[in-house]
Amino acid sequence: MIGILVELFLSLILLKLIERKNLSVLGWQVSGKRLIQLLIGITIAVLLATGYHLIRSLLTGISWQLNTSYRLSDFGQALWWMLRSVLYEELIFRGALLYIAMKRLGPAKGLWLSVVAFGIYHWFSFGAFGQPVQMIFIFLITAAAGWMYAYAFLKTNSLYLPIGLHLGWNCVGSILFSGGSIGKHMLLPVQNPSFQQNALASSLFMVIYQLFVPAICTWLYVRKLDGEKTYSNLSA
């Protein structure tokens, strides 16, 4: 939590020094509309992420069993860890730096700079630097996710929708389906030893689906939010 407070402080300093603005340009103020955007983001991401993991399970021969030793306190701790992780990344890649980049370079260039930076960041967070095939794969799926989050920020003038999308996706993968680095949680994988996995089909599905998710979300942004003024703070 201290790291997030430091990020907020540094964000405020950057905004004051470079743009003479405060944190309000990041859309932090609570409103009914923004809380709805947060819930919509979580709901969309949970549905799409659950579909992804279930289809992938069919392609890899994995079934799932309930973790009978799982406790409510385990869920609470994991959710708190996940929320901090999401806030940390959102403040870096969709916070003051993105606002300043869009203001100085224009919305399109600023957005793409954030997308590329988000993809490159995950080379290091996933420990894939120096492994070209993994780097390409990781860049494609994480940069696509970065587009989804950054474009949500651009369209809504706020971090609530990108936080909802990011949190919903990560929680399904790490808490519901026990993926990631935070250990075993709600469902535990059981591999079918007799299943003949097609590694190529599985890998292609992972890439295509995780490109499809940002595409469908972008369509929803345009369809539902195009009547709104896109990032009015840029011209303020």
Q: 166 to each of 63, 84, 116, 227, how far by Cα in Å?
A: 25, 12, 17, 24
Q: Whose CA is closest to 60, among 191, 212, 235? A: 191
Q: What is the mean pLDDT of residues 53-70?
A: 94
Q: Sorting pLDDT into bands at 50, 70 and 90, what band is 226?
A: low
In a domain, 39, yes or no: no
Query: Is residue 106 included in any domain, yes or no?
Result: yes
User: Taking all residues of the chain, what is their mean pLDDT, rounded to a whole number?
Assistant: 90
132, part of any domain: yes
Domain residues for the domain of 116 are 46-58+71-235
Q: What is the pTM of this model?
A: 0.90
Domain assignment present for residue 11? The answer is: no
**Joined tokens for residue 125:** 């967070």
- The percentage of the chain sitting over the pLDDT mark of 70, rounded to a whole number, equals 94
CA of 137: how far to CAs of 96, 112, 222, in Å?
A: 28, 18, 27
Has residue 230 got a pLDDT over 60?
Answer: no
> Could you tell me the maximum CA-CA distance found in the chain, to the nearest angstrom?
63
Q: What percent of the chain is predicted at pLDDT more than 90?
A: 70
Domain count for the chain, please give it: 1
Single out the residue of 4, 1, 2, 44 nearest to residue 168, CA to CA: 44
Residue 7 resides in a domain: no
Alpha-helix residue ranges (DSSP H) falling in 61-106: 72-93, 96-105
75 lies in a domain?
A: yes
Question: So what's the pLDDT on residue 227?
Answer: 46
Determine contact, residues 69/193, Cβ cutoff 8 Å: no
Range scoring the smallest mean pLDDT among 72-81, 130-139, 227-236: 227-236
> How many separate helices (H) and strands (E) can be counted in the chain?
8, 2
In a domain, 28, yes or no: no
Residue found by looking up tokens 């292609």 in the block: 204
Given a cut of 70, whether residue 185 has pLDDT beyond it is yes
Q: Over the stretch 91-131, which tens digit does the pLDDT of each residue have?
A: 999 999 999 999 999 999 999 999 999 999 999 988 888 88
- Measured distance CA(75)–CA(77) in Å, rounded: 6
Q: Residue 143's CB: how many other CB atoms inside 10 A?
A: 22
Q: Does residue 200 form part of some domain? A: yes
